[in-house]
Structure 1
C-alpha cells in the first residue's frame, strides 16, 4: 500500500471519528449552542421565515378567493330562494283574493235564488274596448241569452250583448248610451223614486240616473239605486250604484243623479248571468200559492 493511500485512509478515519464526536456532542443536553449550531439554526429559521411569509400570503389570497366564491354562490342561492318566496306569496295572495271573490259570488247566487242564475268566468277583455265589453265562458249551451243581466257580488255590471254556443259578450254599464236604458229606483219607506239609467258619463265616471218620479224629499248621498224590474229586461232589486250628486237640467224641470257604479268595472273575474224568468222551483211554489 502506497503512502498516499495510507494517508487517505487515515484522513477518512480521522473524519469519521470527528463526526462521531460531533454527533455525540450534539446529542448531549446542553443549554448553550455552539457557534456553528447557532449559525445553522439562524440560517434555517431565516430561510423558513422568508419562504413561509409569501407562501402564507398566496395561500391567504386563494383562501379569500374561495370564500368570496362561496359567498357569491350563497348569495345567488338566497336571491333565488327570495324570488321563489315572493312569487309564492304573490300566488297565495292571488288565490286568496280569487277564493274571496268566488265565496262572494256564491253568496250572491244564494241571495237571488228566485231567479235562474249562471255562474261564469271572464276569459278575455279587449284593450280597445276595455271599459265597454268583456267575454265570458258561457253561451247558449249553458242557457245564456241576449239581454240577460250580468252581475258580480258587488252589483250589476251590464247585460249580455251577443251569444255563441260556448261564450258570450257582455256590454258593461260603462259602455251604455241612450239606446241602452235601465229602469231603476231608489227605495224609500214613504215613496220610491223612479228613473232611468241612461248612459255613462266618462268625465264624472258616473252613471246618469234621470229622475222621472220622485218624493218630496231631496236625494241623499250614498242612497242605493237598484233595478226596478219595470223595463221588461232586468230582474228587480239588482244593485246598480249609489248616489254621488244631483244636478238639475238647465230649465229646472228634471233632475239627474250621478251614480257611482256598485261594481268595480276594472276588476271583473267572476260573474253571474241572471235570467229574468223565475226559477222552476219558485214558479211551482208561486202556482201553489195562487191555487190556495
Structure 2
C-alpha cells in the first residue's frame, strides 16, 4: 500500500488553486490583492531563475560572437604575415641576384680583353650531381665544345656538348676531368694537374707533383 505525503498534496492543491484564481482574475475584472501578492511571492524565484538563465544564454552568445570575431581577425593576421614573408623572400632573392649581377659586371669590366658570355645554370645531372650541369646558352650565343666555363671565383668546368640554345658542362669536380694548374706563389710556380676526386667529390686533387715540389699549405692554385 502506497502512502501519500499529505503536506506535498496540500502544497500541490494550493499551487493549482492559485494559478486557477490568477487565470480568473486575468480574464475578468476581479481583483484579488492578497492572491496577487501570493502569486508574486511564489513566482518570484522562478522568474528570477528564468531571467538569470536568459542572461547567461545571452552572455554565452555574445562570447561566441566575440570568439568568432577574434578567430577571423587571427586568420586575417596569419594571411598578412604569410604575404609579408613571401614578399620578404622575393626581396631577399632580388637583392642576392642584384649582388651576383654586379659581381659579374665588375668581373667582365676587369676582363674586357675576353669575349665573355653570361649564362645561368638551368639543370644538373641527377645521377652525377657534382659532375655535369646544363647552362642556358648554346651555339646561337657563340658557345662551342671545349670552351672553359668560369665564375669570378675561378674555373667551373668545360663545355662538352653545345646545342642550339643550351650546353652541357663537365665540372672540374668530375673524376674524369683534368686541367692544368700551377701554384700562384711567385717563389713556387709549381705546375701540375688538377682532377676530380671520386673519393671526395667536393675536393679535387692535384697530381703529377714532384716529391720535392715547393708547395705549402695555404698556397692558391690557379689554372695554367
With the length of structure 1 as denominator, give the TM-score of the two structures: 0.58
Change (3 A) 1:125 1:224: same
- Cα pair 1:139 1:166 within 8 Å, conserved: yes
Q: Is the contact between residue 121 and residue 134 of structure 2 (CA under 8 Å) also seen in structure 1?
A: yes
Relative to structure 1, the CA distance from residue 216 to residue 129 in structure 2 (aligned partners, 3 Å threshold; closer, same or farther) is closer
**Contact persistence 2:183–2:190 (CA under 8 A):** yes
> Using the alignment, how far apart are the partners of 2:150 and 2:125 within structure 1?
19
Give the aligned partner of residue 282 of structure 1.
none
Distance 1:214 1:151 in 2: 31
- Please state which structure has a larger fraction of its residues in strand: 1
The CA distance in 2 between the partners of 1:157 and 1:214, in whole Å, is 28
Aligned-pair distance for 1:73?
1.4
Once the two structures are TM-superposed, the CA of residue 133 in structure 1 deviates from its matched residue by 0.9
Give 1:203 shift.
2.7
With the length of structure 2 as denominator, give the TM-score of the two structures: 0.74
Give the length in aligned residue pairs.
194
- Once the two structures are superposed, the pairs formed by residues 57-206 of structure 1 within 5 Å of their partners are 57-177=56-176, 180-203=177-200, 205-206=202-203
SS in 1 for 2:85: helix
| Aligned CA distance change for structure 1 residues 108 and 155 (closer, same or farther; 3 Å) | same
Question: Unaligned regions of 5+ residues in structure 1, if any?
Answer: 1-15, 20-33, 229-292
**Greater RCO, CA 8 A, separation 6+:** 1
Greater Cα shift, 184-193 or 199-208: 199-208
Distance 2:117 2:38 in 1: 104
Q: CA deviation at 1:139?
A: 0.7
Name the SS of the counterpart of 1:221 in structure 2: coil
Offset, 1:187: 2.4
Equivalent pair of 1:192/1:215 in contact (CA under 8 Å): no
Offset of 1:58 from its aligned partner?
0.6
Could you tell me which runs of 5 or more consecutive residues in structure 2 were left unpaired when the two chains were aligned. 1-28
Alignment partner of 1:221 out of 205, 217, 222: 217
Aligned to 1:10: none
